[in-house]
Structure 1
């Protein structure tokens, strides 16, 4: 009974957001959070003080995703109002007037590289506005960007979902590399299918078939180095794979290799100078460079931005407030409980690099005060309703995870495991996807369900590294239906009240991805 009731809010949420007259996420998500709170109180006899502390922590946690979204929107608005986005669009058309080439270069290879450097939903936030600037419609672009931002996610943000997401588990370095190898191979097999499905949201099957060879070349340009790097490293597969894939995809597009003939590209070439192209790409180059420098542990900058060495602190009752020298904001013992909250001001990619790069755009493009004011004003207008949606989502997650071994989320996971037993390999990826759907992060999905996956694997006698690879790949595919990411990309593109519509579309390629994962498990385990 507890398990059935635990799943009820999620079923109602999905129904409310995907029915014909869909309930907007800024209403549906807070309502679901209230329902979970009531279930915790009256069914699970939750401690009121702990429940209140988790609500406070959930509300505070919105600062992380909303600041990232705000930074991404601001950069996009700077590029838009300065005219840089129009120049970028012209340059892409000068490479090829072919729509498939444009979509694969920006939506696949460029986003692949950005994911490897940053994560946090940044690729869709950057790639989607560029594609809209090229003339593609906003809602299909949002769906396309979400679906494409899946394969590289397992190694996003310099491998954070692996080296940090699985850090709490008793795994050796050899086991982590084995997980890395199998994850990369599984994701690369899925990559032979997912881009074709994603492109269908924007193009006809005829256009896709006519350019299928280029699509395969672009995919392999990213995934071959991706798989090779994963044989010995779990930090750089997506970053290196994306960089190499971007270079080759541009080269193939210029040569027209695998592309159907298009008319009109020559005219666009005359409009864009090499100097203009360099200037327009400078913000993106700085963005990637700063992200790399701040996320490679060996270079020391990451530690500086995450230091908890206190700048000042104070106590209010049983709750401790602190600010570190790296401006990490911490609240420990919220309402006298063990619930804590933290915001890494300089490490979360909001101020560094988004705000910094956005401010650099002002002198770089010679923007007037009026244009700068418009950029900030437009950014602010887009954030109000997403804040409400994200508060609902994050409070819901916090409450679903409250209760230790009897937490509603863990009860759902255990129910799946008990149902399948020895055949757990078929569904392991779906649990990873469920974690991303809830939390908005492949890293958090791995943290939340990695231990459960490990326990199930040991209990039923499945290879631990394979099951955790399925978890990792599942967490990546869950990005397609992740509520946080859908809200973020919709906000950036100015799309309102279409979250349910988008989920109904993105769940289809996610299920195809899950099918690939199940077949991969079947071949590895049962054949």
Structure 2
């Protein structure tokens, strides 16, 4: 009964005549609701409170995706995307270099700074704007954005994700380092699988030296930093890798001299030529640098604001997530609603239960940085109020059906995880452990991936299954640090197949009824990654 709704969901979204996610997810969520009420015999009030909590939680991914669509639409209608494309082609018109710079290094940096699905939300539409096919870009981004996730959002999946396990700082460092070593080795293979979505093996082979140098410049600092810190490996490694990839491409190091046929230009979400020609930038040499800075402001401004608001040492992250002082508003039976000075919204005691919800409006990447940066970009480009309202209307239209899918996804996830030790997710996890016995190391990554598949977050996966993985390791006499490292790796690679991420990237790229196709393409790389990581851990640790 625990597994049935997930099997049904995968079937509905993967069959030849696939059911769209905005129908399949609410349907399966309703099925889980009935299962919780009857076979699981959960308290009806608790179940209803969990549904309300799931609905409220869905506003986090909805606002992030809407912000990303708004930002990229701004790039289109202000003409900034054309300037960025021209300048990237000035560095290199080789598709291998462009895919590695944007799809690998830039996304790696974004993951280290923010997490929350930001890499796919920003990097994927840039690649589509450069002319690459949306469906292939979606698959590439989901596969690529697995290696950095263990240290995404300034290391949150590691330092916060394992907070439910009694670990000291040195033990957290050891787990982080072992997961980085596993990621570091697999990081030389997984991007090749991702590139194959768009490029031929011949093209990859001809440009393999550049690819491996770009990977090395990212993965080496990634592993080295993880030895001494568990907050900044992805952020620093992404920065180094981005700079190195740009320099290598600029000087044509490891790239085939003959031009690889670039893809035809493809507009995102059906944008017309007129949509992207509202503004023109002077092209004289004297003004060129100014034009580049202005055109790329939505990208570098977003990245800068993400780093400023997330690096704990700067103090803004603490300020933006502060829950006091707060003003309280009783909402009758719904619970106690409060708004803090930092605009942290909370609803406590939902339906008189222990269910609580919280949303940091200024910390979750929606208003900051997406909306703020977009508005400043429009002003800088001489935009009008009608341009802003048109972009807002476009974003709303793009979000209508995906919002239904995300409402269903978060309700389904919340219900599957309710009940603690007796939850549906725990039943599935314990069944896997019973089947594997002493070979648990080979299945440990898949439990982590299962957590990400459900929740859309490596952090939540580690919070949910970290203690279970620790208990399994102790009961079977396995090394707990290795098992927890495999949990971390699994939580990361689960991002390839997680429902939230697939719906999000399809929404941003304007793909309809493509979730099942994407899932079919990403599940095999995910399985390969998980099995290889388990075998590597067996050999190394």
3-state DSSP of counterpart to 1:259: coil
- 1:10-409 aligned at under 5 Å gives the runs 10-263=6-259, 273-317=288-332, 319-409=335-425
* d(CA) in 2 for partners of 1:167, 1:406: 21
Deviation at 1:373, TM superposition (A): 2.8
User: Cα gap change, 1:179/1:207 in structure 2, threshold over 3 Å: closer, same or farther?
Assistant: same
3-state DSSP of counterpart to 2:382: coil
3-state DSSP of counterpart to 1:64: helix
Who is 2:2 aligned against?
Answer: 6
* d(CA) in 2 for partners of 1:258, 1:298: 38
- 1:449-488 aligned at under 5 Å gives the runs 449-488=465-504
* d(CA) in 1 for partners of 2:14, 2:288: 46
Map Cα deviations across residues 352-385 of structure 1 (whole Å, 9 max, x no partner): 1111111110122222334333321211111011
Large movers: runs of 4+ above 4 Å: 268-272
User: Structure 1: 5+ residue runs without aligned partners?
Assistant: none
- 1:437-452 aligned at under 5 Å gives the runs 437-452=453-468
Who is 1:512 aligned against?
Answer: 528
* d(CA) in 1 for partners of 2:212, 2:387: 41
* d(CA) in 1 for partners of 2:310, 2:466: 23
Contact 1:91 1:269 (C-alpha < 8 Å) held by counterparts: no
* d(CA) in 2 for partners of 1:496, 1:262: 36
Map Cα deviations across residues 265-300 of structure 1 (whole Å, 9 max, x no partner): 9xx999993332222233322212221221122222
User: Cα gap change, 1:66/1:208 in structure 2, threshold over 3 Å: closer, same or farther?
Assistant: same
Map Cα deviations across residues 385-405 of structure 1 (whole Å, 9 max, x no partner): 111101111101111112221
Contact 1:111 1:124 (C-alpha < 8 Å) held by counterparts: yes
Q: RMSD of the alignment, in Å? A: 1.7
* d(CA) in 1 for partners of 2:204, 2:64: 34
User: Cα gap change, 1:270/1:485 in structure 2, threshold over 3 Å: closer, same or farther?
Assistant: farther
Number of aligned residues: 519
Map Cα deviations across residues 441-469 of structure 1 (whole Å, 9 max, x no partner): 11111111111111111111111111111
3-state DSSP of counterpart to 2:339: strand
Deviation at 1:316, TM superposition (A): 3.7
3-state DSSP of counterpart to 2:441: helix
* d(CA) in 1 for partners of 2:286, 2:44: 64
* d(CA) in 2 for partners of 1:192, 1:445: 25
Normalising by structure 2, report the TM-score. Answer: 0.93
* d(CA) in 1 for partners of 2:163, 2:38: 35
Contact 2:94 2:260 (C-alpha < 8 Å) held by counterparts: no
Asked if residue 417 in structure 1 is aligned to residue 433 in structure 2, the reply is yes
* d(CA) in 1 for partners of 2:204, 2:518: 22
Deviation at 1:303, TM superposition (A): 1.3
* d(CA) in 2 for partners of 1:271, 1:161: 46
3-state DSSP of counterpart to 1:382: helix
Contact 1:90 1:272 (C-alpha < 8 Å) held by counterparts: no
